Every structure is written in structure tokens, then in C-alpha cells.
Structure 1
Amino acid sequence: MSITTRTNLATNPSAGTTAANYAAVAGTGGTAALAWNGGAGYQGIPGYPRVTWSVATTAVSGGLTYTQTGLAASTLYSHQIWARSSKAQTLKLTADYYTSGMVYVNNAISAPVVLAANTWTRLSVTGASGAASDRVVLTVSATTGGTNWAVNDWLDGEAVLIETAATAGPYFDGSFVNAASTMYAWSGATNASTSTAKLYTPALALVAKPTFDPTPRVEITVTDLTPTANTVTIWRTADGKRQAVRGARKRSMVSADAIIDYEAPLGRLVSYEIEVTAGINAQVAAPQQTTRVDSVSGCIQDPLVPGSSVPVFGEFGPDGQAYLRDTAVKQLEYAADMSIMQVLGSPDPVALLGQRMSAAGVDMSMSTRAAQHAANLRNLLKQAPLVLVRPLPGWSAALPGLCYLAAGKPTELPVDEAWGGSLIRWQLVGDLVAAPTMNVLVPLWTYGDVKGLWGTYQQAQTALSGKTYLDTLKSPSGV
């Protein structure tokens, strides 16, 4: 649906290599120093600053600060920092906004937070920077309800997140590993610059094309994938059946892609959805999109050659196009393997039944009344061992939107051709079977596409020298 970018404005958020931007706050009567520690900090991230007291405080106060420049004036910010102390302690987080000359402008203070000993805990506060302010000083300090810091007590603080937002989101920085549809990056030097988290939520856009140029279809655009390889399947659901779009099963996609569904059912609602099985976008949830291809006719085609599509009408086809005969779709047989076994001593035999099959003996016989339309249908039936009929809903409520018809002996019956007529009847009876799993063998190339490849006819002749007719159909570019 979109690409959402979060920006962490803290330039040394996890103190990965130095304690730059951090400082100790000794507190009333206390003495403390801050040092960088290379051990595992919050979430196991290496490196963190630690404040250690050598002289105890005499009042509940003291902690550490983080200073960040580069903020905008009069802007709402959320701030967070994760803290860990050597003992149970009550802390608050204060965001003090200053001008470039370190003139105080205003602040925001969080509610007190109780920390268990040696446990990383988040403190957060939201505040609006005042006019002319360009920096913030975040201070984690002991507050009412807490205790004085004793000699050798310590306080760790890191995982600073400053972002333009009304609430504090989950912590991140540029060192995070890309996962769960999110990509992380430093805007400059590692551990010394702002960082981003980009959340990629894939989206589907559908355009229904009901025209025969050469076949009714749905054009599918996938956008907002991560700019890395993702393994994607696009599923089509119609008439309660879910099926992968041809050419879009376990397809590698980077950022965006376009697929054409040449087998979209006609005249009924069809929904599409994305499934990402591998890559940074793996398991992402994207909403279904629905469309409808409102073609004026059904069609019959080779499922692997979209350009073979022939329109078929339920009644007389205009201009002599193919139309269903009155014998078509009058009977659908749903067979199942069956064995009847007699049981000794019982008058009732036992029936062993197999899976009920899709419709068999489906009659899709049709007629044509024009030589060109007859030739188109003849060429299709000669080249396609399995044909796909995409009926309109009005033909029969029992027919699925996609009828993959295995017809062993299509029969051409010229009726009046001998005395100059053009009526031909076509007997086409077969069983409904599963769709072939191959990708499209001959993709759709328009005349304009081919024309755009070459400046002259001779250039095409030279580039395609030695290619067969089928090679050229598959790829007019010769590649």
C-alpha cells in the first residue's frame, strides 16, 4: 500500500563505538564520571555509556544526558532512551530545548518510571521545541520516589530515538538487520549520523481490459516491494477457487513488477492477492483487490498462447463470429470411481467411492458464419491439445469461470460450403481438467511493440536471421 519512512535524528543512538553526545550528571553532592563500555548493551547491541558514582549524592538526583543538534524549531518530537541501573531506582526523562547559543527555550518532562535492578527499561517523553530552538538535551535522572546514588552505583543509558512524531515508536537505528518488510540504513557514517527505517507494504493495482486485443485480461501492477529480491506468488480467486496467475507463481520481484492475467474469468467478480514467501517482504499481509472483466462475449483460447483467443457468443455472433449451438451445455456429468461390494449375510452391498470429478461430457459445440472466424477457430483447435473456454455467467450457472476442456476429437462440419455458403458447425465435447502449469509460451506482442524494435525492415531481417517462426512469435526482438 505504501512506503513509510521513520527517521531517527539521534546521530550516536546506541553508542556503538564512542560515548560522543553523552555526559554524566553527578547530582546534588555527588561525584560521577561517564565512560564508554564495549560490552553488550540494549538488545545486545555492542557498546554503551556508563555513569559511575565515586561520591554519593545527598539528594535524589543525578544521571546522564544525551545532546542532539539539528532539530527544527516549533516542531513536535518524541524522545526515548533506554536505561539500566545497578539497583532499583525511579527515573524521569527531561527534554530541554535550546537555541544554537545554548539559550534555554522550553522543556517536557516524563512521568516517573520505576526500574528494576540491572534491567533495560524505556523512558519516553513527547515535547514541542520552542521558537528558535535547534537542539535538545535529554536527561535521565533520579527523581521523587527514588533513592540517592551510593558509591559504586552505576547507570547505563543508550538506544536514543528522536523522531518527528506524537508518540514514541519501537527503537531502531541504522545497524538493525533488514527484516519484516523493513529496511534500515544510516544516512551517513555508521554510528555518527541519522538513520532511517523504511517499511514496505506491497500493493496491487488492477486494470480490467474487456477487449479482444487479443484477449480480455486483467493487467496487474505490483508496487512498494523492497528493492531487493522477493519471491512472490499472485493468487486469483473466482467462483470460490483459488489459483496462481500463470507466470506469477514463485516469481522473483524487486521493487515493482507487472503481470498480465490472460485467463481472468469473464463477467464475474475476481479477486487477487499477493503472497510473499521469501525475501525481506516475506509473510507481509496485503489486502485483496477485486475487479470485473465485463466482456460482451465469452472466448476460447490456447491457455499458453493468449494471442489465439477467439470470441464466442451465447447467441448468434455478429459478423459471423462463433456462437454456441443449441446442443451446447445441456448436460454435465460428475463421475466418481465406484466399486460395489457384496457383504455376506447382508442384502445391502457396500459402495467404495473415489473423488467426485469435475464435469465430464461438457458440450461446447458452436457455429461460425464467416470464413475468417472459421479459420481462426480452426487454427486454434489444430494447435491446442487443451483449450480454455471462458464462459459468460449467463451460459450456465454450473460452468466455472475457467473451463479447461480436454476434447479429444473436435469435429468440423461444413454445412453449406459446397454451394457457396459459410456456415460451419464445430462439435466440441470434452471433460473439464486441471489447468496446465507451464508459463505462457507465446507472450503478447502488439504491432506497435514490434515496430518500435526496428528502424527498418532489413534490421529485423538481420537480427532474426536463422530464427524459426515460433522463435519469432515468442520474442520478436530475437533475444
Structure 2
Amino acid sequence: MTAQFQDNTSTNVGSQFTSTTTALTANVWSAPIPINGPTSGAGVDRVVLQAVATSGFGVNWANGDTLDIGFLLLETGATAGTVFDGSYVNANSVMYAWTGTADASTSAATTYTPAIALVTKPTFDPCPRVEVTISDVTPTDNVVNVWRTADGKRQAVRGARKWTVNGSNFVIDYEAPLGQMIAYDLEVTSGLNNGVGVTQQTTTVSAASGCIQDPLVPSSAIPIYGDIGPNGEPALRGQALQDFEYAAGVTMVEILGSPDPVALIGQRQTAGNVDLSMITAAAQQTTDLRNLLMQAGVLLVRPIAPWDSELPGLCYIAPKSAIEQPFDTKWGGEITNWAIKSPLVAAPSMNVLVPVWTYGTVAALWATYQAAQTALASKTYLDVLKSPSGV
């Protein structure tokens, strides 16, 4: 084989270069014949390839002799890749396609490398969160899990367990721990990207306060402070977080002839009877906290430093009772004490029940469908998922 670089006027650029001589067997497909050349140089946009063939040492071919070429693979680097065409079966994160008519056009092999991108939002709109974008997944159905690791514990992001992603997608983690490093991983369990390794990403949500919320209703979130909040938001009382009980089921078995019984002990539980007593100093904040306690079975408390040293970053609680103790409201004041004790429990497994953006809230943004189309014309599908208002 010989090769000659040319520019867009078909003018030769540089010298012709040649492969080694290869002996072929008649009527049998041969392995690829590699030809390596120098750097192409400026202005080159094509290469002319020629097969120089003989039937022996300097003997020309006879009339009717032919040379069939099945593949031509051009590489821009110094290493030859694997030969393929558009009929190859998609696998291992690679998709094959003809660029035109099958067996009469060039072929493309596209390798997809899934990636995670994180955007941290520490504000209460509706609550501190991490926005997770999954990109460069094959444009076919892949089933994935998005995992969050914090406090040495790995949990699936709500709504992103056994999640089908085609090309790209976006999920908001409304339960990200505050003030500590969080790691996010993408696991592909089926599809063309199955088993691919994805680089872990880390971030920190630097919120100015803690948070209490219904984990299934992100818009229910209320700030919590270690002292009275600037607008009378809930704050921890002096007796809060004083005791942490780590109980385990123990059965004592007496052994005949021995003064020492045998203890059969079960799994030691996470902290129980945790005191999360609070105080609110504004009528609206008292109402908001009361409404939250009334609507949620399991609550999520996300502490911050310094009052989080004994607590995990995500405290799911299920208090049997919450005692509201008006302090001075009967005399026109706004201070209310709250007595709340609860064990720490497992997170509920359901997806978000009341999303921040619903069909109704999106429809209310625009007078007509065309108005939405015009305002969002420059946005991608993922952009609109992240913010239907276009802001």
C-alpha cells in the first residue's frame, strides 16, 4: 500500500509513504495491512491510497485478476484500532452505524463515557440540595443507580434507584447532608453501558442553617438554628441533644453449674430517644412547624456544625408525640416551646410525593404553549428539566 497526503486542491503535501510488502493467498480474506505515515502537515484534508500489486517478483497481473478490499480504517493517531463497520452489534458502550447506505458508505463507532456533574444549591428554594446531571450515556435505555456516600454510609438518591436513562438525565438530591463532603457515584446495571466505570464526584452543601423537612415533600423544608433564627425560625433548646441511647436486644441464658450467664445480643441500634426540642419565636414559624409535624410521618433533620457532632448528616426521626408548649402567646407574645423526642429510623423508600415543579405550576408560567416554546428556544431538554421557567 502507498499513501499520499493532499490539500483541498488535490496538491500533494509531503512525500508518499509505503507499507511493508504482504503476501496474500488467493480467494482468502487477509488480515489488515497497516501503513503508518508521518504527521500530515498544514492544509491536509485527504489521503490518496493505492494498492501496488504483483503476482510475483515484478510479474504483472493477468487480465481478469482482481483485488477485493473489504475495509479501510483511517486513524488520526499513531495506533491502529480494531476494524469495524456499521453492521457490528452495539456492545460495551460502543455504538456502530453506517453514515449512509449499508456496505456502501463509511461507518462510525461512537464510544459513550457516562459522567456525573454536580451543582450545589445551599438556599431554601425549596431547600438546600445537590443537582445531579448524568450525561454521555448511550442513547438507548440504560438502568442506573445514583448513590450518595456520606458519614461512611452509601444510600441511593431518592428517585434515582433502578432509574432508566437514555442519553442523559437529571435528578435533584433534596436530602444531601449539610456542611460535609458528599460523594456521588453512578452505577449502570443494564444496557449498553452496563458495568462501565464512572468517575466519582464530590461536593459540599455549605448551608447557613440546619433543616427539618418531610423527605417526600421538599417544599416543606424549614431552617433550624442552634440559636433563635433571624426570623423566629425553630432553634434547638438547651436540653436538646444531651443523651444518645444505643440499645440492643439482650437475652440472658443461665448455664447449669456456672454462675455466669450467656448473653445473646442482637444488632445494636442507631441512636434512640434523641431529644430534638425546639423553640419558635414567630407566629408564622410556629404554624409552619406545626403543619410539618401534622403532615409527615417520618421527618428528616439535617444538622450543621457545631450541633451535629454526635448526629449523622441525615437524621430520619419518627416521634410518637410532639408537645407544643405556648410560652407567652396568651399575652400577645410569639414564643412556643416544642418537646420532641424520637429514635433515629430508616429513610422511607418511596419517591418524592409532591415535586417542586408540577404540570400545573409549569402551565401557570406561560399564557400559551407558543410563549413557552419561544422563551425556551435556546434551552436544551436538560435545561428545561432543571428549570422550566428558563431562569
- Which TM-score tier does this pair reach, normalised by the shorter chain? 0.7 to 0.9
Looking at structure 2, the residues matched to 453 and 104 of structure 1 have their Cα atoms a distance apart, in angstroms, of 59
Aligned residue identity for 1:329: L
CA drift of 1:159 comes to 4.6
Aligned residue number for residue 172 of structure 2? 260
Aligned residue number for residue 226 of structure 2? 314
CA drift of 1:399 comes to 0.6
User: Is 1:236–1:245's contact at 8 Å kept on the other side of the alignment?
Assistant: yes
CA drift of 1:421 comes to 1.1
Aligned residue number for residue 17 of structure 2? 108
User: Is 2:134–2:170's contact at 8 Å kept on the other side of the alignment?
Assistant: yes
Change (3 A) 1:168 1:331: same
Looking at structure 2, the residues matched to 132 and 416 of structure 1 have their Cα atoms a distance apart, in angstroms, of 83
Q: Select the residue among 61, 84, 90 that pairs with 1:178.
A: 90
1:126 aligned onto 2:36 = yes
Change (3 A) 1:450 1:319: farther
Looking at structure 2, the residues matched to 314 and 349 of structure 1 have their Cα atoms a distance apart, in angstroms, of 46
1:191 aligned onto 2:103 = yes
Aligned residue number for residue 95 of structure 1? 2
Change (3 A) 1:193 1:337: same
Change (3 A) 1:302 1:139: farther
Identity %: 50
Q: Select the residue among 365, 382, 387 that pairs with 2:299.
A: 387
The within-5 A match list for 1:42-81 is none
Looking at structure 2, the residues matched to 318 and 103 of structure 1 have their Cα atoms a distance apart, in angstroms, of 76
Aligned residue number for residue 261 of structure 2? 349
Looking at structure 2, the residues matched to 389 and 201 of structure 1 have their Cα atoms a distance apart, in angstroms, of 36
Aligned residue number for residue 136 of structure 1? 49
Name the one with the larger strand percent: 1
Q: Deviations over 1:229-270 (max 9, x none)?
A: 111211111111111100111111111111111101011111
Equivalent residues, number: 351
Q: Deviations over 1:326-361 (max 9, x none)?
A: 111111111111111111222222111111111111
Looking at structure 1, the residues matched to 221 and 45 of structure 2 have their Cα atoms a distance apart, in angstroms, of 69
Q: Select the residue among 275, 278, 289 that pairs with 2:190.
A: 278
What TM-score results when the alignment is normalised by the length of structure 1? 0.67
Tell me the secondary structure at the aligned position of residue 130 of structure 2. strand
CA drift of 1:97 comes to 2.9
Aligned residue number for residue 437 of structure 1? 349
What TM-score results when the alignment is normalised by the length of structure 2? 0.81
Q: What stretches of structure 2 of length at least 5 have no aligned partner?
A: 58-66, 369-391
User: Is 1:200–1:224's contact at 8 Å kept on the other side of the alignment?
Assistant: yes
User: Is 2:228–2:281's contact at 8 Å kept on the other side of the alignment?
Assistant: no
Q: Deviations over 1:51-77 (max 9, x none)?
A: xxxxxxxxxxxxxxxxxxxxxxxxxxx
Q: Deviations over 1:275-322 (max 9, x none)?
A: 111111111111011111111000100000001001000122112111
User: Is 1:329–1:396's contact at 8 Å kept on the other side of the alignment?
Assistant: no
Change (3 A) 1:112 1:441: same
Aligned residue number for residue 246 of structure 2? 334
Tell me the secondary structure at the aligned position of residue 197 of structure 1. strand
CA drift of 1:95 comes to 3.1
Aligned residue number for residue 365 of structure 2? 452
Looking at structure 2, the residues matched to 140 and 293 of structure 1 have their Cα atoms a distance apart, in angstroms, of 68
User: Is 1:97–1:106's contact at 8 Å kept on the other side of the alignment?
Assistant: yes
Tell me the secondary structure at the aligned position of residue 174 of structure 1. coil
Looking at structure 2, the residues matched to 369 and 141 of structure 1 have their Cα atoms a distance apart, in angstroms, of 97
1:418 aligned onto 2:338 = no
Change (3 A) 1:292 1:98: closer
Aligned residue number for residue 91 of structure 1? none
Aligned residue identity for 1:95: T
Aligned residue number for residue 396 of structure 1? 308
Q: Select the residue among 292, 296, 314 that pairs with 2:204.
A: 292
User: Is 1:173–1:184's contact at 8 Å kept on the other side of the alignment?
Assistant: yes
